[in-house]
Structure 1
Amino acid sequence: MRTQVCIIGGGPSGLLLAQLLHRKGIEAVVLERKTRDYVLGRIRAGILEVGLVGLMREAGVGARMEAEGFRHDGTVIAYGDEEFGISFKQHTGSDVMVYGQTELTRDLYEAREVDGGRTVFNVEGVCIHEARTDAPYVTYVADGTEHRLDCDFIAGCDGFHGVSRQSIPLSVRREYEKVYPFGWLGVLSETPPVHDELIYSGSERGFALCSMRNANLSRYYIQCSLSDSPEDWTDAAFWEELKRRIPERHAEALITGPSIEKSIAPLRSFVTEPMQWGRLFLCGDAAHIVPPTGAKGLNTAASDVHYLYHGLARFYDDGDREGIKTYSQNALARVWKAERFSWSTTNLLHRYPDQSAFDLKMQQADVAFLRSNEAAQKAFAQNYVGLPY
């Protein structure tokens, strides 16, 4: 079998790339190691930057997002019982869209099926061959049979544990990593959100985040120990701890209910360089990971898709190789800025095990500066709605 672009990974970044390429008449085959139901069962963040909203529209899959998503003009920063708002509209003229990643992925799958795009599920043993030549190909096993897929380019959208990054020799790639000494315990509940905007809250007991998926579906997080497991936390214990970490007026207004999903995610900052090797290109978690504090994971993957999509489109339109030659350079320039924002926002509101009295005073000063300084708020808002591509 032959195609123009082989996309390894059927998550949102791989599907978005495939759909954008399809709209340009460029054929792509998507290889996914799990089932569609498994992919759609993963609970992930749902804050979309301006750029990602634009890509969804360009891909022709923005209708349900526009109808059901929630536009957010700002956010609330709290520290103890004190809080202040940062207006995205005021500082940037833009907003963000709250729309669940699961729903975004569902929209992309449905569009791909309507358009007749080929997606192969339950693939095993994916192996990338001849990536540095003009004739790369991928082998994989499906239904017990080995297949070969010849292509012009390979897009590795298969996540941190996928084969794509590992296919770049260690002599070529360099990895940068920071592992944080805590995780996030997240609960999804069929309850109305406690506030119209997201609340990022720091407290002496640790960080908390109040967010939402829709008018009757809320997502809450609290900082927890890496040694914890979801089973250690009853619903009652979670709600009680959350109330202790957010301003009193929000704690009193909080409507609680049974959790329908509960999980713990470790926090990590990670970047690999370069993001391309010959005709293999890395996108999203295959190349970089951010702590979720800045809502940049899916959005940074989308910026990778933007650069790769435009580079491939230029190549197939008129043979211009500049976009694909500079893909890694362009993508990494934006990735590192997103990494900085996520890292700094994490440091702003979390408690660290080895945090000294001086460190705590500096953290409080950072929050106070953000509260009182319009330029700092503008910079925060610019990063949150998404830096330009």
Structure 2
Amino acid sequence: MLERARPKSRRAVRARRAAPRARVATPAARAARPPRAAAAPRHYLSALDLSAAEMRALFALAGRMKRQLSAGTPHPRLAGKTLAMIFQKPSLRTRVSFETGMTQLGGHAIYLGPEDIRLGHRETVEDVALTLARMTDGIMARVFGHAVVEELARHATVPVINALSDREHPCQMLGDFLTVAERRGRLEGLTLAFIGDGNNVAHSLMLGGARLGVNVTVACPPGHEPDASVLERARAEGRATGATVRVTADPAEAAAGADVLYTDVWASMGQEAEAEARRAVFRPYRVDDALLARARPGALVMHCLPAHYDEELDYATSRRPESVIFDEAENRLHAQKALLVMLLGR
């Protein structure tokens, strides 16, 4: 027998009538709501913008995609994504590696050369950042002053990648340590000797190397040492990982027992007026067979390219089996593809 429902009390009915009813927003009301704040973009301006764990994960991802490419397996992880590439300085490896990388990832890259936007002259850095962020998924910049990439990152709502500035070259560092890890099977405990100018490449190798547990010694003429603040920060990183970061004026001392001999041009782009004077000062800071003989047997020879042969690097030494200068050039592609996936694929 079904139980008859009891009539509700007058109090219950009054309470139900007084309770606020859920309102369904009209389309107009929904449109008027302020948009949710987007997550802050992840930028890569310095070697220290990735943790050691993130760099190791990046190397592993780069290795997987490198094998996929070799096997002819498509990996369109950034399909539909667009990268804006700002160049104040021309480049072979930077443009080809980023542009090819975006194509292999299923995306698209747009080259913006020095005369296309005349960054900071025809249009402010702020306006360029705000405009590109509305149209693209990421911004890569190869510039003269580090302040430019910092300002791009300050205003852009998409990731900004430092593809070279006068302070750092962090993408080069990723390709370099990917190459060393491939050849040696490890990074921690190895010693890299950088012979030459304490420049942007040296800065990123010091910072990234110390964070990864690589000992880094920079041999340079007096007056051409790395920036003191970068050296201090690299040594702080080294204290946390057990890595040492040293600066010496003696290239033979730096090379002794090293696992890697690394060099770069004596006069960087923008220093052409100093080139002749620098040749006289840097002549003892040359990587050749004699210096290589002081390193650990089988030590790798590295150069970020372009090279001025028979200045900072002996041509014959650059063609020895120990030379990996074209491996590291290729690995710019693979390391940067992994970086793009990490930043733009979020």
- TM bracket (short chain): under 0.3
TM-score normalised by the chain length of structure 2: 0.26
Of structures 1 and 2, the larger Rg is shown by 2
Higher relative strand content: 1
Q: For CA contacts below 8 A with separation 6 or more, give which structure has more relative contact order.
A: 1
Larger helix share, 1 or 2: 2
